Chain A
Amino acid sequence: MSVGLRICDVSLRDGSHVVRHQFTIEQVVSIGCGLEAAGVHMVEVSHGDGLGGSSLQYGLSRTDELRLIAAARSVLSHAKLAVLLLPGIGTRADLKAARELGADVVRVATHCTEADIAQQHIGLARELGMQVAGFLMMAHMTSPQKLASQARLMESYGAHAVYVTDSAGALTIDGARDRVRALRDALQCEVGFHGHNNLSLAVANTLVAIEEGATWIDAAVRGFGAGAGNTATEVLAAVLDRMGRNPGLDVFKLMDVAEDLVPPIMQKPAIIDRAALTLGYCGVYSSFLRHAERAAERFGADVREILAEVGRRGAVGGQEDMIIEVAFELSQRRSSPG
């Protein structure tokens, strides 16, 4: 436990889902400055679905993410600039472009059973001299042992850390503990944890992950992330401080970012409403929420029914098109007799 905690604030990436990828340069500069001043170790900036995510499938970016990354670079000095990359969506060319603009860290994300599609991207990141974390998404969908063997692959490709990524906010406390422990036992490299608050367990799960040895810790100021939001950075900072484990975060400054800077950008607070709770309850990718809300409106279907059905069909991150199809089918079923 000699390695210190590193807090990565993901609001300028995971929060992109909440605002349907409409971030502006001014917003990135505003939140980026606040996070830098508050002592956050890493700030992640990308389209919500990672580099190259701007699309009809996931939502078109209002501002080219490379311009947002460059803007963040101009205000971060102590904090490292991180980007997200999902192989299959973003490419090595996108990573090179982000690196040229000064990205220090990349998190390469795959579904929890598909680590081997990240080999080239992790390898390239190392060649480019970046810090790299593997990001095993929807970690609730596989066992701790299988997750650990996938994490070993990512480590073998060169990852400096591998995350247990609770994309659906569906892990219970034991679920988070067992997975982090399995990775900790299997890996030489560091372990990370990324939580969503759909079951109101984001802080609790993060603490248990830290207890089990996770050192790369994701959070989003004011919980500014998909679904019911991520682990709130200012809350986590306060708790860690009370526990005597504050890794250099300024709790009051984070509160100020959360209360003064974020709300006007965030539009809608991160709350556990019935749709967000359904994500955690049914194990659905958190960023499906806004898409399901829109599809429910377009096809006159119920948002919870859509999410529950998408969960039943075993959708993984990236399958936003299944939301449209399910909503369409539900609307057909409703309009046909019987």
Chain B
Amino acid sequence: MASKADSPARVRCAILGSGNIGTDLMAKLLRSRVLELQAMAGIESASAGLARAAEAGIATYSNGIDGLLALNPLPEIVFDATSAQAHRAHAPRLRAARIIAIDLTPAALGEYVVPAVNLDERLDAVNLNLVTCGGQATIPIIAAVNRVAPVEYAEIVATIASASAGPGTRQNIDEFTQTTARGLERLGGARRGKAIIVLNPAEPPIIMRDTVYACFDAGAPHEEIAASISRMVHEIQAYVPGYRLRTEPLFDGDQVTVMLEVEGVGDFLPRYSGNLDIMTAAAVRVGEEVARKLRDTQPEPHPDAGESV
């Protein structure tokens, strides 16, 4: 048993992708007491993200995944913050190297994970996918309703600042709506899900906002649903501090409307881009839990480590 005072060695991890998301993720991982950020790899040596990583004392590579796979020792976890297309190429190589992939792209190859909903069930997966920003923000609300009253239909509308929607999102907007809708069904438990995304160009940029509609079984008690939502919001706030409801849940018969907003902590990305912050925050949360699980099952060598359980 690892003693509490003497914290075990941190789990080695690396970031693939040196864009805005990778850079914001770096800032969060550098604070982790469970994960040790070993390296960041991009594909452009002149990338500002790699320069920032180097400044922070992190090893950097401009040859992408090859750089990470040449590390000795290898990272145990790799966060992929590239693109869906790139992740499709990375996933089999990471798997072959027995590295756990935490995927922030919309590739949706691995198991969908939303920390407040199903992280415990997915800790053994070799590829964990974070669905979408809208999914991270809204699936927990549907799950919170669904654990009280089965949800027949879930619909979410994510409105994000134009300035926080990168080219990846813009060119693949159908992937956002389709992946989020699937997440509402698979993780949220809704029988049918639908997702809509709206980009708003207002200046100054608006904070990410989401509206969640849930149609639930007739006659379910509104107070219990509201209490379940409130508990869920607290659980999310443990890893996304800027996550909050804009109004109390609004009930209309057997339908509830929940309006929420997500403000980022402003690590690297501006605070309005809560859509990006919730992804990097969820990634770190997933990474830390996976790391704890790895240490539990493969304890670091310790002089007194007997087999006493």
Contact = CB atoms under 8 A, between A and B. Distances in A.
User: Is chain B a partner of chain A in the same complex?
Assistant: yes
Interface stretch (B17-25, B61-69, B167-175, B296-304): B167-175
Contact of B170 (A57, A117, A324): A117
Interface residues of B, number: 33
A120 B246 contact: no
A292 to B, nearest CB: 16
B70 to A, nearest CB: 36
A142 to B, nearest CB: 8
Interface string A313-338: 11111110100110011000000000
B257 A314 contact: no
Interface centre among A93, A119, A321, by most chain B C-beta atoms within 10 angstroms, is A321
B45 interface: no
A56 B177 contact: no
A290 interface: no
Contact of A88 (B167, B198, B202, B206): B198
Interface centre among B176, B199, B206, B255, by most chain A C-beta atoms within 10 angstroms, is B199
Contacts of A6: none
Contacts of A88: 173, 176-177, 196-199
B162 A113 contact: yes
B159 interface: yes
A116 interface: yes
Interface string A294-321: 0000100000000000000111111101
Interface in B175-194: 176-178, 194
A120 B172 CA distance: 8
B131 to A, nearest CB: 17
B259 A56 contact: no
Interface residue range, chain A: 20 to 34
Interface in B189-248: 194, 196-202, 206, 211, 213, 215, 246-247
Contact of B211 (A57, A93, A113, A117): A57
A319 B159 contact: yes
A87 B201 CA distance: 16
A63 interface: no
A325 B153 CA distance: 21
Contacts of B252: 298
A113 B198 contact: no
A120 B178 CA distance: 15
A30 to B, nearest CB: 30
A119 B171 contact: yes
Given A321-B157, A325-B259, A55 B196 contact: yes
Contacts of B201: 111, 113-114, 316
A319 B200 contact: yes
Contact of B255 (A56, A89, A92, A313): A56
A188 interface: no
Contacts of B199: 88, 111, 114, 117, 316
A117 B160 CA distance: 13
A328 to B, nearest CB: 6
A154 to B, nearest CB: 13
A91 interface: yes
Q: Which 9 A-B residue pairings sit nearest by Cβ, starting from the closest? A: A314-B202, A321-B211, A318-B198, A56-B213, A91-B174, A88-B197, A113-B201, A116-B170, A117-B170
5 contacts: A88-B176, A92-B174, A119-B171, A316-B198, A319-B200
Given A56-B153, A56-B215, A319-B200, 13 more contacts: A55-B194, A93-B174, A113-B162, A114-B162, A114-B201, A116-B171, A119-B171, A120-B171, A120-B174, A316-B201, A319-B157, A321-B157, A321-B159
